[in-house]
Amino acid sequence: MAIKVASAPVSWGIYEFEGIEPKYPYQRVLDEIQQTGYTGIELGPYGYLPTDPAVLRQELGARGLQLLSAFVPVKLVDAAAHEAGAEAALKVGKLLAALGAQYIVLADDNGSVPELVAKAGQRTGSALTSAQWDVFARGVNLVARRINDELGLKVAFHHHCAGYVETPVEAAELLARTDDQLVGLCLDTGHWHYAGGDAAAAIQELKGRVTYLHLKDCHTEIAAKCRAEGKNYFEAVKAGVFCALGEGEVDFPAVKANMLALGYDGWAIVEQDILTEDLDVPKRFSAANRAYLKSIGL
């Protein structure tokens, strides 16, 4: 068994968040992902990379990159948004399926609720009532069922700071309320730590529900400073709370060992959440992250 390593446009500041515009043409991002040693890629926001399967296949193939998945946010706390969310996921999923990808990384509509943005990395417990959880989980199951039945793709839910599923308690609650045959967890190591958890321990505690992996680090001192100063999510990202791999508190050798112990032989996607005006920073981070992962046998 082996874990393969991929990258994602988010490491170049290409976000789904409203109001954050891409600073790079997609060709530069693809080139720099390939140049820094990655062989797989996530799609990024739908429409950033070409959506014509033939064009995208040519662009990725020219660089030896395999398309793996896409991050799809849905306003799951609102029952009226579920059907539109499922349709949006299916639109993305059709492109993924055409290129041989296997996963939809489903998420809450993170970063859209001011109170959650303000308290990211500072919350405990759950922000949802039992009735709201019923609605939220029903939406996740609905999208996952449609994706599975119509496209044969798998769904991994991405817990995320500044969303309704941020804390380890919230992630566990969602998993308890969703179909374990349809919904796995995309464990994002950096978000898990900034939300107060331990990623390596979570893999053991959640067992087979961790079905997909995003690698991100969390800087202990910067995280503490952001919490003490009450920085919101975007301010914390800009301050560097998600540092280069190996510079923070995530125990990546233990993450690797625990995933392998579960029989995981899929991909690990490096996500360097970043907000910077220096256009050369993402490539430097990308190279440093790849070098660190090679040093621990990934």
Give the pLDDT mean for 14-39.
Answer: 86
Q: What is the CATH number of domain 4-295?
A: 3.20.20.150
> Is this structure's pTM higher than 0.85?
yes
- Give the whole-angstrom CA distance, residue 251 versus residue 259: 12
Check whether 273 has a pLDDT greater than 80: no
Check whether 18 has a pLDDT greater than 70: no
Give the pLDDT mean for 32-53.
Answer: 97
Check whether 1 has a pLDDT greater than 80: no
Query: Alpha carbon of 81 to those of 84, 86, 103, 153, 276: distances in Å?
Result: 5, 9, 21, 21, 33
Give the pLDDT mean for 278-296.
Answer: 94
pLDDT of residue 126: 93
Check whether 16 has a pLDDT greater than 80: no
pLDDT of residue 274: 73
pLDDT of residue 101: 97
Check whether 10 has a pLDDT greater than 80: yes
Runs of H (alpha helix) within the chain: 26-35, 53-61, 82-98, 114-118, 130-151, 168-177, 189-194, 199-206, 220-228, 233-239, 252-261, 281-295
Q: Give the model's confidence band at 51: pLDDT under 50 very low, under 70 low, under 90 confident, else very high.
A: very high
CA-closest candidate to residue 13, choices 27, 1, 29: 29
Give the pLDDT mean for 187-195.
Answer: 98
Q: What is the pLDDT of residues 248-265, one digit of tens each?
A: 999 999 999 999 999 999
pLDDT of residue 106: 98
pLDDT of residue 19: 60
pLDDT of residue 20: 62
DSSP string of 58-124?
HHHHTTT-EEEEEEEEE-TT-GGGHHHHHHHHHHHHHHHHHTT--EEEEEE-TT-SHHHHHTTTT--
Chain center to CA of 64: 22
Q: Where does residue 240 fall: left (phi above 0), alpha (psi -120 to 50 degrees), or beta otherwise? A: left
For residue 135, give the 3-state DSSP assignment.
Answer: helix
Is the sign of the CA dihedral 91, 97, 101, 105 positive or negative?
positive
Domain ranges of the chain: 4-295
pLDDT of residue 3: 95
pLDDT of residue 237: 93
Check whether 279 has a pLDDT greater than 90: no
Share of the chain above pLDDT 90, in %: 91
Chain center to CA of 13: 13
